[in-house]
Amino acid sequence: MSARVKKKDHSSNGERGAQRSNPVQDDSSDSTCVSSSMPAADAKSQVSAFPWKEELQVLVRWCSYGSEGSGKHLRGVKKRRVENYYQSLLAADGLGKDIELQDEKSSSADPLAAVEKWKGQIEKDLPRTFPGHPALDDDGRNALRRLLTAYARHNPSVGYCQAMNFFAGLLLLMMPEENAFGMSLIGVIDDYFNDYYSEEMIESQVDQRVLEELVRERFPKMVQHLDYLGVQVACVTAPWFLSIFINMLPWESGQFSECGMCFCLKETV
Amino acid sequence: MGAYRAEDDYDYLFKVVLTGDSGVGKSNLLSRFTRNDFSNDSRATIGVEFATRSIQCDDKIVKAQIWDTAGQERYRAITSAYYRGAVGALLVYDVTRHVTFENVERWLKELRDHTDANIVIMLVGNKADLRHLRAISTEDAKGFAERENTFFMETSALEALNVENAFTEVLTEIYRVVSKKALEAGDDPTTALPKGQTINVGGRDDISAVKKPGCCSA
C-alpha cells in the first residue's frame, strides 16, 4: 500500500512538471493546492496531532529515493516524462545532454528570453556554491548550471534567486540530476518556497515578521539585546530560512534538510 | 541596557553597510578588515551577514558594526530594511566589470532613500590588483564620486590594499561628524547621530552625504 502511495505521489509530481511547460500559467494556484498533490493528504483524513510530520516523512522519503541509487520508484512513462521535460527545458540552447527528446514540449522558446536575465547570476554563483567540495568539480558545476537553468525556465516568475544554488547543489550530492530536478527542486521550491524566491520575496518577509513576533513573545530578553544592538531578528534568521538551513548546520549532521523542511512544513500545514 | 554596555568596551557604535552588485567582493572586504582574511573560495552571501571591529579615533574607541548584504537585485526587497540606522556605507563596484560601476547610481539612490541624510558614503573600486583587466579608470570613478559628494578609494581585498584605509576613513569621518555634533549640542557623545538632524561639517567639499543645513534630500 505504501508503495502505491509513493507511486501516486511521483505521478502527480511528474504531471505537474509536464504541466509547467506552459510558462504563462498562474503560479499562485500551485501553492494553494499543495496538499492535494501530496500523499499526506490521504493520511490527513486520519486524525493526527502532527499533520506536518507525515508530510515531512513523505518528503524525506522522496529525497532518499535518489540516494538509494535507483529509479525503480519512478518507472515507465512517468519517469520518462520528467526526464523529457527536463531535457526539453535544456534543449533550447544545447545545454541538454540528450537533445533527441524534444518532441512534445516546444514551448521553451518564450521562457528562454526571460532566463537570460538570471544567467549571469547563475554563472557567478556556480563557483560560490560549496566551494572546494570535491563533487562540485567541472562536471558537478555543469550539472548545477543545468539544474538551475532548467528551473528558471520551468518557473520564469521565480527564475533564479541566490540561495537556490545551495539547495540545488545539495540535491545533486544526494541524487541523480533528473531526480533532483523532477522530484525535489520542483516539488520543494514550487510548493513550499515559491514566493520565498520570487522578485518581491514576499513570503520570506512574512515568515520573518511572524517569527520575530514569536521570538519577541517567547524570548523577550534576547530581543531586548538585539534591539539594543539595532539588529532585527530577521537579520539573523532570514538567511537560515532562505537557504533552508544549508550552511547553517554541520554537513555531517545530515539533519539540516530535515530541519529546514520541518520549518517550512510547519508553516504551510 | 546598561548591563549590556558594561561588557563592551567602546565609546561609539557605528553601523556601516556594504552594498554593491553581486560578486564585487563585499564579503572579502569585510573579512579582510575584520579578520585580516581573504578567501578565494568564498560562498555567495544570502541575506545579510555582519562582523564588528573596533578602532581608535583620538582617545575614543569606535566600534564598527559592519553589515554585508547580498548583491542580487531581488534581495533589495529584504535588505533595504537593513539600512535602518546606518551612519556609513561602502558602495562597492568591481574595477574589472563595467556593469557593476553602471549600477552604482542605483545603489546610491537606494542608500539615500533608506538611510539618514547624514550618512557618510564611500565609493569603493575593489579588485584593483587585477590591473590588466581594469575596465573603469580611476579618473572616471573619482569624477563620479565628486559629482555625487561621496568619498572614493580603490581597494584590493586580495592584496589588502587600502582596505584598512577605506573603512578607517569612513569611520573617522562619522566620528568627526558625531563628536562635533555632540559638542555643539552639549549632548552625551556616546549616542549616534540623531535621526533627521542636519550637520554641517564644513571645510571640505568632498565630504559625502553630510548635508548643508536646509538640504534634506539627495
Per-residue model confidence as pLDDT tens digits over B161-175: 999 999 999 999 999
B46 touches chain A (CB under 8 A): yes
Distance (Å, whole) CA A110 – CA A103: 17
**Any domain includes B198:** no
- For residue A265, the one-letter residue type is L
Q: What is the reported pLDDT for A260?
A: 52
Which has the closest alpha carbon to B210: B162, B185, B174? Answer: B174
Does the beta-carbon distance from A225 to B48 stay under 8 Å?
A: no
Please report whether residue B110 resides in a domain.
yes
Does the residue B203 lie in any domain?
A: no
Count of structural domains within chain B:
1
Radius of gyration of chain A (CA): 19
Measuring CA to CA, which residue among B24, B45, B77 is closest to residue A165? B45
Chain B residues whose CB is inside 8 A of the A231 CB are 50
Q: Which is more confident, A217 or B207?
A: A217
**pLDDT (0 to 100) of residue B163:** 97
Half-sphere exposure of A191 (CA within 13 A, CB side): 24
Look at the alpha carbons of B160, B166, B172, B175 in this order and tell me if their dihedral is positive or negative. Answer: negative
DSSP sequence for A36-60 = GGSTHHHHHHS--S-HHHHHHHHHH
Query: What is the model's pTM?
Result: 0.72
Q: Which residues of chain A are within 8 Å of residue B50 when distances are taken between CB atoms?
A: 231, 235
* Contact status of B189 with chain A (Cβ, < 8 Å): no
CATH code at position B42:
3.40.50.300
Query: Which residues are CB-neighbours of A224 under 8 A, at least 6 positions away?
Result: B1
pLDDT for the residue numbered B182: 78
- Decide which of A40 and B193 is more confident: B193
Mean per-residue pLDDT over chain B, rounded:
84
Q: Is B98 on the interface with A (CB under 8 A)?
A: no
Asked if the structure places residue B32 within a domain, the reply is yes
Give me the mean pLDDT over the B51-77 stretch: 91
* Nearest beta carbon to residue B46 from set A121, A132, A239: A239
Within a domain: B190: no
B72: chain A residues, CB-CB within 8 Å: 121, 161-162
Interface of A with B (CB under 8 A): 121, 124-125, 127-132, 161-163, 165-166, 198-201, 204-205, 208, 224-225, 228-232, 234-235, 238-239, 242-243, 247
Q: Is the residue at B73 inside a domain?
A: yes
Residue B154, SS3? strand
Distance, in Å, from the CA atom of A104 to the CA atom of A124, rounded to the nearest integer, reads 33
Mean pLDDT of B134-142: 97
Q: CB A234 to CB B81 under 8 A?
A: yes
Is B133 a member of any domain?
yes
Report residue A105 as a C-alpha cell: 514540449
Report CA-CA distances (Å) from B119 to A12, A107, A174, B10.
Answer: 54, 49, 47, 21
Residue B33 clears pLDDT 50, i.e. is over it = yes
Q: What is the pLDDT confidence band of residue B47, given thresholds at 50, 70 and 90?
A: confident
Are B44 and A200 a contacting pair at CB < 8 A? no
Q: Which domain holds residue B73?
A: 10-181
Q: Is the residue at B160 inside a domain?
A: yes
Q: Nearest-CA neighbor of B29 among B136, B117, B156?
A: B156
Q: What is the mean pLDDT of each run of 10 residues along chain A (269 residues)?
A: 36 40 38 37 49 64 49 58 82 57 41 66 92 87 93 90 92 88 83 86 92 95 89 89 82 56 46
Q: From CA A238, how far away is CA A240, in angstroms rounded? A: 5
Burial of B38 (0-12, 13-18, 19+ CB in 10 A): middle
Cα distance from B3 to chain A (closest Cα, Å)?
10
